Amino acid sequence: MKPTRLVVIGNGMVGQRFLEEIMARELALEITVFSEEARVAYDRVQLSSYFSGASAEDLSLVTPGFFAEHGIRLMLGESVQRIDRERCVVVGSAGSEVPYDTLVLATGSYPFVPPIEGNDREGCHVYRTIDDLDAIAATAKSSRSGVVIGGGLLGLEAAKALKDLGLETHVVEFAPQLMAVQLDVQGGTLLREKIAALDVSVHTGKATQRIEAGDSQRHRLVFADGELETDLVLFSAGIRPRDQLARDAGILVGERGGVIIDDYCATSDPAIFAIGEVALWSGRIYGLVAPGYDMARQLAAHLAKDEKAKFQGADMSTKLKLLGVEVGSIGDAQARTVGARICQIDDSVAGTYKKLVLNAAGDRLLGAVLVGDTSDYGTLLQYHLNDMALPSSPLSMILPAGDGKPALGVDALPDSAQICSCNNVSKGDLCSAISQGCCTMAGLKSETRASATCGGCTALVKQVLDAELKRQGVAVNNHLCEHFAYSRQELYHLVRINGIRQFDALIKDHGRGHGCEICKPAAASIFASCWNDFVLDKPHVGLQDTNDNFLANLQKDGSYSVVPRIPGGEITPEKLIVIGEVAKKYDLYTKITGGQRIDLFGARVEQLPLIWRDLVDEGFESGHAYGKSLRTVKSCVGSTWCRYGVQDSVAMAIFLEERYRGLRSPHKLKMAVSGCTRECAEAQSKDVGVIATEKGWNLYLCGNGGMRPRHAELFASDLDDATLVRYIDRFLMFYIRTADRLQRTSVWRDNLEGGLSYLQAVVIDDSLGLADELESHMQAVVDTYACEWKRTIEDPVAMGRFRPFLNDDSADEALVYVRERGQKRPARLSEKATDAMAARIPVLETQS
């Protein structure tokens, strides 16, 4: 009987693994392998190690003599030109024709290069093969800096390569954060901070429009809002499946690329199969090696007539070390599942961020994000993969090691639990190997391949090893920072109960050291919430962050923006004229915000008090856009004008804004009032949302917009005016007393034991007996309100802060603008380099 002729196109990681799986089954096959590269399969996962000393031989995945030993014909350095399906022949680039009975496409993917002008300039590279790395190294020899375009997994790996080559390194990412697929906003932010601390410059939200010749370096990357010069450009902006052979042969491919396969990895031609990054299964391309290995495993089993062998998708969880920073992502890391709940620890002192995504019941793990410390990855992955019930306090699973942290206990895992996803090694496989004499990690790795690929399961493999050998014969820290062994809530109570009004007394009695950028602004916020003292008074001014220090929002060019309060969005024509006159007088850029305010941009430090005086004299006051406080109360026109309105939403919005203006809180607050259920004010996306009904007001709480929008929850219905205000008073003050530092109301609500019903019991039923105290405290804040702009311009000491230089009253010459669409904007780097800049003309003219 003639052996089946098997042809494999591609000898990458997945193609090689398929060959090994086939060899393990000892099938009667005549195998030919086409390898486009001039070298056999190597480890692309560890590709960056090539620049830190690893050789091509070190990266090789093929044991010496593998092809000869198994009688495999290897067409090294020969690509496939076409597939002749009628004759069942593969035509090689050297003219060879190889017949097949079974054909496997393991062609992988190619790096995506954005279609931007100049992407083919000399010194622009991709990061995919060892040959690519050799070309990068050659360019690096005559380069001082390099830019990676792409801030995903591959992009950060490429950035490490440039760092290892000794280049000044930049990462340019189109998305607003790094690793947007795997991480949430907070995780991406911390990753950016850690990478920036390693002298890698990160530029997010940047769309490269073209690459042109630079002045001081080889290239200039031109963005919509700036430019960057560099000697070397490295594209790592994602991958695309190499499916052209299949397309040309008339095999079905997906609308956006990829060879369509079924559960048996079969294409539309039953004699042709596809595995790895070229394969599109259930509408998805898998860009990690573990799913490709599983496809290889299942296809080999299928060809060996194993009826149970099917590819059924893959978990995309991953653990990596990127530029030395530990990163882990499990399951639904973005919390997209309906009803998902969140608990997290954001320790900016330790530089770690851990988030758990739970189901609505809070007893199952849907996903997780780990940045800075992935020691819990193995445990969390097992809870996710095996649908295991969580402890009663899920947050305890990501606490620092200590008495309060529960251990998973590998005994709790079933034997079927997958420990190593890359190589499909279960707990039972490990235990079997251990019982047969494997008593070291090296032995287990050699015998089972567990932890041999990405290493993400190493810790859990070690736990299984230790537990099995033993069987055979062996407090939550929510401190604010290193200076205070208290949470923000505990610190708030110390301040309130002991009547502490200054930071020196607080740290002397309850802390240590001199304080830091974490505890000082937190303490300043607590003092303001408790006592409502002027934030620029001498005891407090040194505690404020940049925006509060100048009662304005710092912008990217060093200027500030001014946002006067417009309660409820209602403004008279006279006041509109005043804002226009102030904007013209100080040449400010004007923009209507999403919160029904007018923002004035481009004010210099010394201009701020002058602008405030002009506004205050005409009846305006600070809008507190710079503070962790109430920002706006948005409204529709309500029953006054609208034919659908059932209550006066404008009047209520103005009342609420004037009541809570200046209220300092753990995070910024936004409110809205809609005059009917058509919801034109978008109240259900706010921290406090009020919607009119025929009988009164419905109150919604704990919503927010932003990067992770959250709908507010209906808290109480058909309230009269007095009851509505009373409930809001209680809610806000309870939040201020108990929330963590920089914790939004939505996150605070998610972390409340008992959830919405508990909050309703506290606020509506006064279950804690605090209602009178909360209302009294809020009234004290209301009664002591004073406009901070007005206080400042009346205080000579405070006014002394608003000088650009201590020994010079002249303006800051670094602030340069251009005219565009009739208004000024900050000049770009190229515009600052003009003759006009050299002549120190403060505003350049450009066509609108």
Which pLDDT tens digit goes with each residue over 80-91?
999 999 999 999
How far, in Å, CA of 226 to CA of 668, rounded?
Answer: 30
CA distances from 157 to 139, 235, 323, 458, 547 (A): 18, 12, 7, 21, 36
Which pLDDT tens digit goes with each residue over 196-215?
888 899 999 999 999 999 99
How far, in Å, CA of 588 to CA of 603, rounded?
Answer: 7
Average pLDDT over residues 602-620: 90
Q: What is the DSSP string of 272-321?
A: EEE-GGGEEETTEE--SHHHHHHHHHHHHHHHTT-TT---------EEEE
The residue written with tokens 């097949």 in the block is: 100
Contact 34, 6 (CB under 8 A): no
For residue 148, pLDDT over 70 is answered with yes
Average pLDDT over residues 435-456: 75
- Of the pLDDT bands very low, low, confident and very high (cuts 50, 70, 90), residue 478 is low
Average pLDDT over residues 454-479: 67
Contact 449, 425 (CB under 8 A): yes
Question: Helix 427-435 vs helix 441-448: angle between axes, to the nearest 10 degrees?
Answer: 110
The residue written with tokens 């927010």 in the block is: 704
Which pLDDT tens digit goes with each residue over 92-145?
999 899 999 999 999 999 999 999 999 999 999 999 999 999 999 999 999 999
Task: Report the pLDDT value the prediction gives residue 42, as an integer from 0 to 100.
Answer: 92
Say whether 102 sits in a helix, a strand or coil.
Answer: strand
Task: Report the pLDDT value the prediction gives residue 847, as an integer from 0 to 100.
Answer: 41
By CB atoms closer than 10 A (0-12, 13-18, 19+), residue 460 is buried
Q: What is the strand order of the sheet 560-562 is part of?
A: 553-554, 560-562, 598-603, 589-592
Furthest-apart CA pair in the chain: how many Å?
101
Which pLDDT tens digit goes with each residue over 275-284?
999 999 999 9
Which pLDDT tens digit goes with each residue over 552-585?
888 877 788 898 999 888 899 999 999 999 999 9
How far, in Å, CA of 615 to CA of 468, rounded?
Answer: 74
Q: What is the DSSP string of 461-496?
A: HHHHHHHHHHHH-------SBTTBSS-HHHHHHHHH
Question: Residue 479 is encoded by which pair of tokens?
Answer: 């401190």
Task: Report the pLDDT value the prediction gives residue 477, as an integer from 0 to 100.
Answer: 45
- Of the pLDDT bands very low, low, confident and very high (cuts 50, 70, 90), residue 663 is very high
Contacting residues for 55 by C-beta, under 8 A, at least 6 apart: none
For residue 841, pLDDT over 60 is answered with no
Closest CA to 848 of 827, 826, 818, 812: 818
Say whether 735 sits in a helix, a strand or coil.
Answer: helix
The residue written with tokens 């404008």 in the block is: 650
Question: Residue 686 is encoded by which pair of tokens?
Answer: 């706010």
Task: Report the pLDDT value the prediction gives residue 810, as an integer from 0 to 100.
Answer: 56
- DSSP character for 453? S
Q: How many CB atoms lie within 10 A of CB 250?
A: 11
Question: Residue 232 is encoded by which pair of tokens?
Answer: 């070397």
For residue 627, pLDDT over 90 is answered with no
Q: What does pLDDT average to over the chain? A: 87
* End-to-end Cα spacing for the chain: 79
Closest CA to 15 of 266, 275, 395: 275
- Of the pLDDT bands very low, low, confident and very high (cuts 50, 70, 90), residue 454 is low
Q: How many CB atoms lie within 10 A of CB 199?
A: 9
Residues above pLDDT 90, as percent of the chain = 48
How far, in Å, CA of 8 to CA of 32, rounded?
Answer: 6
For residue 518, pLDDT over 90 is answered with no
Domains in the chain, ordered, with CATH? 4-109+241-303 (3.50.50.60), 113-237 (3.50.50.60), 315-408 (3.30.390.30), 416-474 (1.10.10.1100), 488-544 (no CATH), 545-622+787-806 (3.90.480.10), 629-786 (3.30.413.10), 816-848 (no CATH)
Task: Report the pLDDT value the prediction gives residue 832, as an integer from 0 to 100.
Answer: 58
Burial letters 776-795, b for 16+ CB under 10 A, else e: ebbeebbeeeebbbbbbbee
Contact 667, 742 (CB under 8 A): yes
Which pLDDT tens digit goes with each residue over 698-720?
999 999 876 556 788 899 999 99
